[in-house]
Structure 1
Amino acid sequence: MRKLRTKRAIIATALALAAVLGAGGWAADTQTALTGPPPGSAAWTADTAIGLRLPDPATTTPAQVAAFFAGLTPTQQEALAARHPLVVGNLDGAPVRLRYHANTLALTAERDRELARTTGPALTPQDHQAARTRVERYRTLLDGGRQILAFDPRGRGEVAEVFGDLATAPRTAVIVPGSDIDLLTFDRATEPYGTPAGMARALRQATDGRTAVIAWAGYTTPVGVGVDAATEDLARAGADRLTRLLDGLAVSTSPQAPATVFCHSYGSVVCGLARPTPARASALVVLGSPGMGIGSAADLDPGVPLWATARNDSDWIGDVPNVRFLGLGHGADPTDPGFGARPLPSTGSHGHTGYFAPGTASLAAYAAIALGLGR
């Protein structure tokens, strides 16, 4: 009997891998997760200009960061942001407005650096084009007073943007995206509701502006559908970053309740592995989920309700078997009644990225949950 179960598990894993290959095409280039403190942290910790020891970003909690900045004058805060924009702009627990300012400085500096690369004589035409692409991305992020909560130019780049006012909104929400999201794809005109920025805009509008929403592309996502998407290494690294983000929001903002976290596709694995507590999240909502890396809703904190969106018929994620074996797959389907999640409708949605589209039953349900009206 045990041999039979093992054989079935191996077959199921093979089928899952075949479905992955057929659904999106194999992505051979595996990604290395960005982990650890922000860029520039060594210079930050060595800085003694204000006569105080600066908190080590690698070991200091967001609560400790908040306490440190609370003891500084506005002039001291601004001086640190000017000297270390990439650290201050990514430091969970630092004042939100100061982070916006620091990231504006960091984006401006990176734009100027990439602008010089567009004509660099030692670079290839491909390098010049890549630099022009980044210059344009930085230009759009600097336009119109956008509120950039995090920005890291390393690798494919990471970014987080706030829609609304975190200081005054009674409720907050966080969008955690899935594969293929990074600095360049975080916000795009084509397929807008498949990006964290597009999802955030739609959710904020659906709540009539009563929710501040964070579009969070703050972890290294898989590229395409392949080994990274079928395993949990990137999700584990992302879960650590998500936990720190939520801890930072708890001490740097003052809404009526912790954030509601919306987890799309591979992002639902990140959320499952993060297992947020009631101090960090009011609820988890998964959509287009391949599994959460857990056995059932019982593996999560019972104080954080889990909602699972019914999968629409045109969502290709339904072709991926819900298995977990030898490090492949993400386990049980959260939409299965036996999983224990609260069901949400998806009427009117289409495809893997259509759940936040205006007019869908799913978006209406998300707005109610974000506002604390879900039961």
Structure 2
Amino acid sequence: MRGFGRALIASALVVTAVAGTAGWATADAQQAVTGPPPGAAAWRADTVIGRPLPDPATATPREVALFFAGLSGPEQQTLARRHPEIVGNLDGAPVHLRYEANRLAISATHDLRYARLADADRQILAFDPRGRGQVAEVYGELTGAAHVSVVVPGSDIDAGTFDRTNDRYGTPAGMAASLRAATHDATAVIAWAGYTTPVGVGLDAATGRLAEAGADRLTRLTEGLDATGAPDPVLFCHSYGSVVCGLAARDSDATDIVVLGSPGMRADTAADLHTDARVWAAKDSSDWIDDVPHIEFAGLGHGADPTDPSFGARRVPAADAQGHTGYFAPGTESLKAFAAIATGDVR
């Protein structure tokens, strides 16, 4: 009974302690955004090119890639103009066509919160305005890239905070830009805010519900990269994003999974992730995540600390990173190590 009592206390602590990148805010329960974006019915019914269009809810990224490969350039452009919200989010579609479609989709919202995302120099790989908004952006040239990395963020990230200027290295945009610069532009990096993240502290941050939905979307992203000929990616997973990556690990073809400031990966050991990817973990001594109980009990908490030697992950040096969002700051040991992992320069 004594052990059971300690577990109950730890579970209560998890509810009040597990959070994401923004820290100690009051939580709001979130509804995960799933399935294709609005416009799927009109897309399915469209006969403009004289053949059935792939169902965005059921077609695999490889099927999508094969479909677009069989279209002429004008046919592809026609579909992007008529259905930008679908083409822009269709994993397996040509990436430059998705960029064009998402500029149209963002402009069509007439929402000033998203106007900056439609700038001509931005490569928006996905945009979904539902809920708090989801977005993915490519830094570098994805087509023909020798290396690809994907940044998976934690709590309080959405289309509005994706590239906020305060706490820059706690945002997927800031992390992605910093990583690409540290590799001397040797890798393309996707800043992926493609799932519904928790807001603040509460049950969403302490449970795996949103992470499970996010893992499905992350797996589809990696399948889309594979279908378009991109190399197997390296996943960089921050805070609650490491829960997403832990759940996606089994179905992802990532070469490496790097977690930083992790509350756990819903696994007791790296072997329990059932992945061929190398697993890495970073945590600095000033990161408040170290105060979060590393347990999983009755659905609360995310399990073992990936930086614990018993977990079996490779340790990334992070002694000079500051706080929960300092791992990608220029000049840090952690960023230097991340760059080496991203470009395959470590064994």
Tell me, in whole angstroms, the C-alpha distance in 2 between the residues paired with 1:18 and 1:170. 43
Contact 1:27 1:227 in 2 (8 A): no
* Cα displacement (A) at 1:139: 2.4
Tell me, in whole angstroms, the C-alpha distance in 1 between the residues paired with 2:17 and 2:142. 41
Tell me, in whole angstroms, the C-alpha distance in 1 between the residues paired with 2:335 and 2:130. 33
Asked if 1:107 is matched to 2:81, the reply is no
Q: Specify whether residues 265 and 48 from structure 1 end up closer, same or farther in structure 2 by C-alpha distance, changes over 3 A only.
A: same
1:208 match: 184
2:139 match: 163
Residue 270 (structure 1) aligned to one of 218, 223, 244? 244
* Cα displacement (A) at 1:226: 1.1
Structure 1: 5+ residue runs without aligned partners?
Answer: 115-134
Tell me, in whole angstroms, the C-alpha distance in 1 between the residues paired with 2:345 and 2:212. 31
1:223 match: 199
Q: Specify whether residues 9 and 263 from structure 1 end up closer, same or farther in structure 2 by C-alpha distance, changes over 3 A only.
A: same
Tell me, in whole angstroms, the C-alpha distance in 1 between the residues paired with 2:140 and 2:25. 38
* Cα displacement (A) at 1:277: 4.9
Asked if 1:301 is matched to 2:274, the reply is yes
Contact 1:276 1:304 in 2 (8 A): no
Residue 245 (structure 1) aligned to one of 201, 217, 221? 221
Tell me, in whole angstroms, the C-alpha distance in 1 between the residues paired with 2:126 and 2:16. 37
SS in 2 for 1:57: coil
1:80 match: 79
1:17 match: 15
Tell me, in whole angstroms, the C-alpha distance in 2 between the residues paired with 1:182 and 1:28. 15
CA deviation string 1:30-82 (max 9, x = no partner) = 00000011221111001111110001111110000001101111111100000
Tell me, in whole angstroms, the C-alpha distance in 2 between the residues paired with 1:24 and 1:163. 27
SS in 2 for 1:180: coil
1:361 is aligned with what amino acid? E
1:40 match: 39
Please, which moves more after superposition, 29-38 or 6-15? 6-15
1:7 is aligned with what amino acid? G
* Cα displacement (A) at 1:26: 5.6
Contact 2:114 2:160 in 1 (8 A): no
Asked if 1:372 is matched to 2:344, the reply is yes
1:10 is aligned with what amino acid? L
CA deviation string 1:160-206 (max 9, x = no partner) = 00000011221000000000000000001111110000000000000
* Cα displacement (A) at 1:302: 4.4
* Cα displacement (A) at 1:92: 0.2
Tell me, in whole angstroms, the C-alpha distance in 1 between the residues paired with 2:275 and 2:119. 42
Q: How many residues align?
A: 345
Tell me, in whole angstroms, the C-alpha distance in 2 between the residues paired with 1:36 and 1:213. 25
- With the length of structure 2 as denominator, give the TM-score of the two structures: 0.96
Which has the higher Rg, Structure 1 or Structure 2? Answer: 1
SS in 1 for 2:28: coil
Tell me, in whole angstroms, the C-alpha distance in 2 between the residues paired with 1:197 and 1:53. 36
* Cα displacement (A) at 1:24: 4.1
Percent identical among aligned pairs is: 63
2:90 match: 91
Tell me, in whole angstroms, the C-alpha distance in 1 between the residues paired with 2:114 and 2:257. 31
SS in 2 for 1:178: coil
Tell me, in whole angstroms, the C-alpha distance in 2 between the residues paired with 1:190 and 1:253. 35
Q: CA RMSD in A?
A: 1.5
Tell me, in whole angstroms, the C-alpha distance in 2 between the residues paired with 1:106 and 1:269. 30
Contact 1:277 1:304 in 2 (8 A): no
Tell me, in whole angstroms, the C-alpha distance in 1 between the residues paired with 2:27 and 2:327. 29
CA deviation string 1:207-230 (max 9, x = no partner) = 000100000000000001111000
Contact 1:174 1:260 in 2 (8 A): yes
1:363 match: 335
1:117 match: none
Tell me, in whole angstroms, the C-alpha distance in 1 between the residues paired with 2:106 and 2:160. 13
Tell me, in whole angstroms, the C-alpha distance in 1 between the residues paired with 2:319 and 2:343. 20
Higher fraction of helix: 1
2:60 match: 61
1:334 match: 306
SS in 1 for 2:284: coil
CA deviation string 1:300-345 (max 9, x = no partner) = 2342100001x21221111111011111100000000000101110
Higher relative contact order (CA 8 A, sep 6+): 2
Residue 319 (structure 1) aligned to one of 291, 294, 312? 291
1:146 is aligned with what amino acid? R
